[in-house]
Chain A
Amino acid sequence: MSDAYLLYLEDIQKTYGDKLVLADIDLAVKQGEFCTVVGPSGCGKSTLLRLILGQEQPTSGKLLINGRADVLHPSPERGIVYQRYSLFPHLKIIDNIMIGLILPLPFWKGIFKKKIIRKEALHYLEQVQLAEHAHKYPHQLSGGMRQRVAIAQALIKKPQILLMDEPFGALDPGTRESMQMLIIELWERHNMTIFFVTHDLEEAVFLGSRIIVMSQYYLGGSEKTDGQAKGARIVSDHSLEKASSTHYKESDEFGKFIQQIRKEGMDPAYLQHVTQFNLQHRDSFQTLTSEERAVLQ
């Protein structure tokens, strides 16, 4: 059954030294989902993303990409857009996009195929509306433009899943909004699966087709850390309506939902027991130990 999912995590734990960051993460994501992840700052969102990417290894647990477990290190199946340092400073914009098609070839073949590859790269550059900047260097572009290049750079590899770690976090609000519209458009056009980490609740609710809330504020849990800081878990999981325009952000419904998510995830005083998490999404599941389950009776 775990094969039906593009991304499948079971009992994932991650510790740094003595510090438990992720405690028992269970997550299954279907192909085509735009999955946004929110949670209090420092709860381990980026850590989770790095585990999925293969940049780091889980301390324990099962992680499958398309049913395969042999995905230890970063590979072309998983694309990444970071908040910064995403582009190669020594390459022009067009070469930054072409590099994804050139690197897998032996370098002499890269030279012969350059023309075809350049054409395809230009096509992607047009989709992020940057064709006229093809021959500039990254340092000559604004932050928003650079992120658009980074998105095109990842897109050209047609990754099975695109991971984004606060990609718009460093942009000003206006640029941010246009980037949000762009990513929704690209997601629909390319039928992508996206895993999008953000600290901005509005952004998460606006963009996602599914929102995952992580938090270290909850009751119970089998790990023996009661009293100390706990490792984060997924405390709530909802499917979201597709936003058609930015006006959605002004609606009452939108505001109420934000309030609910803020309470479930961000409020240190609002503590739910592990058995009471608001896991409404049809793909969500939870592996509980017998002690945890015992509380239910």
Chain B
Amino acid sequence: MKKDKTWFRGLHAAPPHWLRLLLAILPFMLLVAFYLTASHIRHTENPQDKLLPTITKMGNAIKKTAFTEDKRTGKYLLWSDTFSSLKRLLAGISMAAASGFLLGLNMGLLPGLRSMLLAFITFLANVPPLAILPILFISFGVGELGKIMLIFLGTFPLITRDIYLAVRKIPQNMIVKSLTLGASQAGVIYRVIMPQILPRLIETVRLSLGAAWLFLIASEAIASQSGLGYRIFLVRRYLSMDVIIVYVAWITLIAFSIDLILRKCITWVFPWYNPKMER
């Protein structure tokens, strides 16, 4: 029998497990190798180069920010920055998720509410959140509330609309069926449809987190005393690429982990959702 399966090329490729792992790691290795080479070249020309710090310098940056008390504040900077940023991020996104979920769910099922709010939410979704950042800072102050409101306003309309669309896709038959099974109107909304939409909420939050990080870092860069974004823009003045790269890698790692946890959450808690989805 002729072997008609390739490992890599074409529509019918069937890479074995080990190859898939290898292929997944490959772009990372390429990136690191590329960086190290470039950094090495620059350092042979100029040992004081700041643009592409060496691994050792970055190691020192980690030691300095994560494991040494800051002289001025007496805090471990990386951890206290992470803590303040995550607090803002989670406060903003969970408020947006909770209210967007309830609103989208009810708008999807109640024609009255839908008529009243659909155009308004669509309008809100088109307001560029960063453009109203000054308004937020003026009205909510440059403290925590202003930043949380930015994240909230930046993600809430999209979450609402996505949940709304998911609810609208539920066949009318299912709602009729629930009524014939003795559900009250509230029962249809909160006991039949809501549990079906929950995994969709997690997916929407996963997608909105990218925007949430953007708004978080932007607001921290502009007015803040702490936070990951604040630190990055602070050390930029001293051209501390080593700290910046460490912070960016750290943010990426956090964002990736949150996404992973949410994704696993869907497969564990909602096994009926997307049964064929690839892990």
Enumerate chain A interface residues (CB-CB to B < 8 A): 53, 55, 73-76, 78-80, 82, 84-86, 88-90, 99-101, 103-104, 107, 137-140, 153-154, 157, 159
B179 within 8 A of A: yes
Contact flags B184-202 to A (C-beta < 8 A → 1, else 0)? 1001000110011000000
Given A86-B173, A89-B272, the answer on whether A103 and B196 have CB atoms closer than 8 Å is: no
Chain B residues, Cβ within 8 Å of A100: 181-182
| Residues 254 to 279 of chain B near chain A (Cβ within 8 Å) | 270-273, 275
- Tell me, in angstroms, the Cα distance from A219 to B263 when the chains sit together: 63
List the 5 shortest-distance A-B pairs measured between CB atoms, nearest first. Answer: A104-B182, A74-B179, A100-B181, A103-B183, A137-B272
- Tell me, in angstroms, the Cα distance from A159 to B272 when the chains sit together: 29
Partner of B271, one of A78, A80, A137, A138: A137
Partner of B176, one of A80, A84, A99, A101: A80
Distance between A165 CB and nearest chain B CB, rounded to angstroms: 9
Q: How many residues of B contact A (CB 8 A)?
A: 23
Chain A residues, Cβ within 8 Å of B178: 103
Sampled A-B contacts (11; CB under 8 Å): A75-B179, A76-B180, A80-B176, A88-B196, A89-B196, A90-B195, A90-B273, A99-B181, A103-B184, A138-B272, A159-B180
Chain A residues, Cβ within 8 Å of B181: 76, 99-100, 103, 153, 157
Enumerate chain B interface residues (CB-CB to A < 8 A): 171-174, 176-184, 187, 191-192, 195-196, 270-273, 275
Q: By the criterion CB–CB under 8 Å, are A154 and B180 in contact?
A: yes
Chain B residues, Cβ within 8 Å of A159: 180
Q: By the criterion CB–CB under 8 Å, are A76 and B182 in contact?
A: yes
Q: By the criterion CB–CB under 8 Å, are B182 and A157 in contact?
A: yes
Chain B residues, Cβ within 8 Å of A140: 275
- Tell me, in angstroms, the Cα distance from A100 to B179 when the chains sit together: 9
Given A55-B172, A86-B173, A139-B275, the answer on whether A103 and B187 have CB atoms closer than 8 Å is: yes
- Tell me, in angstroms, the Cα distance from A249 to B196 when the chains sit together: 43
Partner of A53, one of B176, B183, B196, B271: B176
Chain A residues, Cβ within 8 Å of B271: 137
Q: By the criterion CB–CB under 8 Å, are B180 and A79 in contact?
A: yes
- Tell me, in angstroms, the Cα distance from A55 to B180 when the chains sit together: 10
- Tell me, in angstroms, the Cα distance from A120 to B55 when the chains sit together: 67
- Tell me, in angstroms, the Cα distance from A89 to B197 when the chains sit together: 11
- Tell me, in angstroms, the Cα distance from A154 to B181 when the chains sit together: 7
